[in-house]
Structure 1
Amino acid sequence: MTLNDLEKRLLNEYQKGLPLTPTPFADIAAKLGTSEALVLKIIDRLQALGVISRVGPVFKPKRVGASTLAAMAIPEEKLEKVAGMISAYAEVNHNYEREDNYNLWFVVTAPNQQRLDAVLEEMEQQTGYKILYLPLEKQFHIDLGFPLWC
C-alpha cells in the first residue's frame, strides 16, 4: 500500500489534537490546504484499508463510562478470525497480537459497568473463548503519538 503526502500528513499531524469545534474536519482541511470533502474521503479510504480503525476521542480511564484491558488465549489457526470478531464490536478501541499464551489483547469501553460486562460476556459466548479481564488499578500516562513518516 502506498500513501500520498497528504495522507501521511493527516496521519502524522492528527494522531492527537482533533479540533474541538463544530467543524473539525473542515478545520483540519484548512490547515492541510485542502477540502473537508477530501479529508473525509481520505479517512474513509484509510479505514477501508485497515490503516486506521477509528477517528474519535480517547478519554482518561474512569472519567467517562467503564473500560478494561482484556486478553484471550486463541489457537494460532483461529487468531485472525477471532480478532475480526472482537474488532467488530463498536466498544473495542483496538486489538493486537502478542507473543504469549494470551496472544490477543484489546481494550473495551462502554457507557457503564453493566454494558461492559454484557459486551465481554457476549464476546466469550460468540468466540467460545474465555476472556482475562485486566481492569485499571493504577494509571500511567504514556503518550503513544509518534511520527509515522519523516
Structure 2
Amino acid sequence: MAELDALDRRLIDTYQRGLPLCERPFAAMAERLGVSEAQVIERLQLLQQGQVLSRVGPVFDHARAGASLLAAVSVPEAERDAVAAAINRSPGVNHNYAREHRYNLWFVMTAADENQLEARLEALEEELGWPLLRLPMVEGYHIDLGFPIPWDELEAP
C-alpha cells in the first residue's frame, strides 16, 4: 500500500461521498480541508497514479438525469481492444469493461432522453458492425461503496 499522509487520508475519508456540486469543487474541498485548491488537485492525481483511487467524480442517478442502459457486445477476442476503444469514443459511455463471457464487452451509455439514447446505440452498432445486447434496468438498487477505513489497523505489522 502506498504511504498515505494525513491529507491523503482526510481526502479519502471526507469525500467518499458528498463531492461538492459547485463550479469549483476542488476549491470547496480545499477550503474545508484548510489547504489550497492546487494541493487537492495534486493529491488526487497522485492518489490515482498510485492506484489508491480509481476514480474521482460524482455518481449520478441516471434515471433522474436522463436515460441510461447497460449494453453488451460479443466480439472476437482479437478485435476486443479495438472495439473497446470505439465504444470509449462514443458519447455518453461512462463504464466499459471486459468480461469472461460470450458477451465480452459491457458498457453503460447515457443520454438526455430515451430517443437520444437509442440513436447513440444505433450509431454505435452501425460503427462496430456487431449487434448490441440492450439490458434496460428493471429495478434499481443503491449500493453504498463508501466505508470507514481503519487506518490504524492497516498500519499494524
SS of match in other structure, 2:78: helix
User: Normalization by structure 1: what TM-score?
Assistant: 0.75
Partner residue in 1 for 2:73: 72
Partner residue in 2 for 1:139: 140
Tell me how far 1:122 sits from its aligned partner: 1.4
Q: Equivalences for 1:31-50 in 2 at 5 Å?
A: 31-41=32-42
Partner residue in 1 for 2:130: 129
- Which stretch of structure 1 is more off in the superposition, 79-88 or 7-16? 7-16
Work out which structure has the larger RCO, using CA pairs closer than 8 Å and 6 or more positions apart in sequence.
1
**Are 1:96 and 1:104, in contact at CA under 8 Å, matched by a contact in 2?**
yes
Q: CA RMSD in A?
A: 3.1
Tell me how far 1:102 sits from its aligned partner: 0.8
In the alignment, the residues of structure 2 paired with residue 84 and residue 149 of structure 1 have an alpha-carbon distance, to the nearest angstrom, of 38
SS of match in other structure, 2:26: helix
Residues 1:124 and 1:58: Cα distance change in structure 2 (over 3 Å): same
Residues 1:47 and 1:79: Cα distance change in structure 2 (over 3 Å): farther
Partner residue in 1 for 2:96: 95
- Point out 4+ residue stretches in structure 1 off by more than 6 angstroms: 44-51
Which has more radius of gyration? 2
Tell me how far 1:42 sits from its aligned partner: 5.4
Per-residue CA distance 1:105-127 (angstroms, 9 max, x = gap): 11111001111011111111222
Higher share in helix: 2
Residues 1:43 and 1:119: Cα distance change in structure 2 (over 3 Å): farther
Tell me how far 1:30 sits from its aligned partner: 2.9
SS of match in other structure, 2:72: strand
